[in-house]
Amino acid sequence: MIELRTPTQIEQMRPAGGFVASVITALSEAADVGVNLLELDQMVHQMIRERGAESCYIDYHPSFGASAFGKVLCTSVNDAVLHGLPHDYVLVDGDLLSVDFACAVDGWVADSALSVVVGTPRQEDLDLIATTGRALEAGVAQARPGNRLYDISAAIGEVAHAAGLSVNLQFGGHGVGRTMHGDPHVPNDGRAGRGFKLKPGLVIAIEPWFLHTTDEIYTDADGWTLRSADGSRGAHMEHTVAITADGPLVLTARD
């Protein structure tokens, strides 16, 4: 069921958005050569405790997960692109790291993701990250009253296809509110002018993710991490966005 939030409720979501943005920023600064993924997860665990927030991940067990997630952060490295389960891995020079984080503050959820290169970057990785960022911006720009849901999808897909990328439609954006995942599903490609008409009060996570040379993925033996079928690397960007009468409001905007 699609729920619309009042202007007051959207204001109440701002603290969650601000906290999630601060965590993503802290992760982008902490990720470095020699840092263990478990250290990043522990850092965020401490930030959650200090803020009095509630993790959306640690007890999360949807049908596609092998068990409860058990961590507070998704860390996807290189050929992993989504749902990366933090494990005993030390980042090395040139790793492409995607971090995805959602939590609740005062009962309201926000969700965001970012990809960064650790150490010396490959140009193709920087290009992929830049394309994913442009796709996110294009999708957000379409999140305004009077447009239709697939206007967001088409804008994301157009950026991907212009860069020669294919798009996986299994996982995409989603509604956000009292829980992390709700209606509607927001695909990362589609035909403009289709889907329901967007109204003020809709809050969604818009999250393009792309792989260098494929759109096919498989689930790692850990039961969670999604990897590219051909070993190519991936990038993932996400913001929580409220549709208001004045246009899109990015609740997880980072300074």
Q: pLDDT tens digits for 83-92?
A: 999 999 999 9
Confidence grade of residue 222 (pLDDT, cut at 50, 70, 90): very high
pLDDT at 37: 98
Average pLDDT over residues 174-201: 97
Confidence grade of residue 209 (pLDDT, cut at 50, 70, 90): very high
pLDDT surpassing 90 at residue 152 = yes
Q: Is 235 exposed, middle or buried (0-12, 13-18, 19+ CB in 10 A)?
A: buried
Average pLDDT over residues 204-228: 97
What is the C-alpha to C-alpha distance for residues 238 and 207, in angstroms, rounded to an integer?
A: 4
pLDDT surpassing 90 at residue 172 = yes
Average pLDDT over residues 6-26: 98
pLDDT at 65: 84
CB atoms near residue 139 (< 10 Å): 30
What is the C-alpha to C-alpha distance for residues 206 and 203, in angstroms, rounded to an integer?
A: 10
pLDDT at 52: 98
pLDDT at 225: 97
* Mean pLDDT rounded to a whole number for the chain: 97
pLDDT at 66: 82
Average pLDDT over residues 4-8: 98
Distance of CA 190 to CAs 24, 128, 155, 209, 229, Å?
A: 29, 20, 8, 15, 23
Confidence grade of residue 255 (pLDDT, cut at 50, 70, 90): confident
Give the CATH superfamily of 7-250: Creatinase/methionine aminopeptidase superfamily (3.90.230.10)
Confidence grade of residue 226 (pLDDT, cut at 50, 70, 90): very high
Structure confidence by residue, pLDDT tens digits, 106-143: 999 999 999 999 999 999 999 999 999 999 999 999 99
pLDDT at 64: 83
pLDDT surpassing 90 at residue 10 = yes
What is the C-alpha to C-alpha distance for residues 31 and 37, in angstroms, rounded to an integer?
A: 9
pLDDT at 186: 98
pLDDT at 131: 98
% the chain with pLDDT above 70: 100
Of 115, 89, 121, 87, nearest to 100 by C-alpha is 115
Of 70, 105, 104, nearest to 84 by C-alpha is 70
Which residues 6+ apart lie within 8 Å of 53 measured at CB? 16, 19, 103, 104, 105
Structure confidence by residue, pLDDT tens digits, 29-83: 999 999 999 999 999 999 999 999 999 999 999 888 888 999 999 999 999 999 9
Sorted by where each begins, the domain ranges of the chain are 7-250
Phi and psi for 77 in degrees, rounded to 5?
A: -115, 130
CB 242 within 8 A of CB 251: yes
What is the C-alpha to C-alpha distance for residues 190 and 147, in angstroms, rounded to an integer?
A: 14
